[in-house]
Amino acid sequence: MLEMRPDCEKCGCDLPAEAPGAFICSFECTFCAECADVLDELCPNCGGELMDRPTRAKKHHAKNPPSTQRHFKG
């Protein structure tokens, strides 16, 4: 199951699990669409390809909650 990190590691904007617009690499480094575009869809941490992160419907959050740990390095 994906961790569903709550924020962009580059700019810190919120990325709710139920909303589209997040991009992840195979290590789940997470970026917003704007930052992924600036990064040319390559993860600055591992060099992996950034792909669209699937969404998680809110009805599943109680049993499978998204992460609340923020990763923005500011």
Please give the Cα distance from 43 to 36 (Å, whole number): 8
Q: Does residue 66 sit within a domain? A: no
Contact indicator for 11, 34 with CB cutoff of 8 Å: yes
Q: Does residue 27 sit within a domain? A: yes
Q: How many domains does the chain have?
A: 1
Look up the domain containing 51 and give its range: 1-57
pLDDT tens for each residue of the chain, 74 residues long? 899 999 999 999 999 999 999 999 999 999 999 999 999 999 999 999 999 999 999 999 999 999 999 999 87
Q: Does residue 68 sit within a domain? A: no
pLDDT reported for residue 23: 98
Q: Does residue 50 sit within a domain? A: yes
Please give the Cα distance from 21 to 7 (Å, whole number): 11
pLDDT reported for residue 73: 80
pLDDT reported for residue 74: 77
Contact indicator for 31, 10 with CB cutoff of 8 Å: yes
Closest by CA to 65, choosing from 52, 55, 56, is: 56
What does R_g of the chain's alpha carbons equal in angstroms? 12
pLDDT reported for residue 3: 96
pLDDT reported for residue 56: 96
Q: Does residue 49 sit within a domain? A: yes
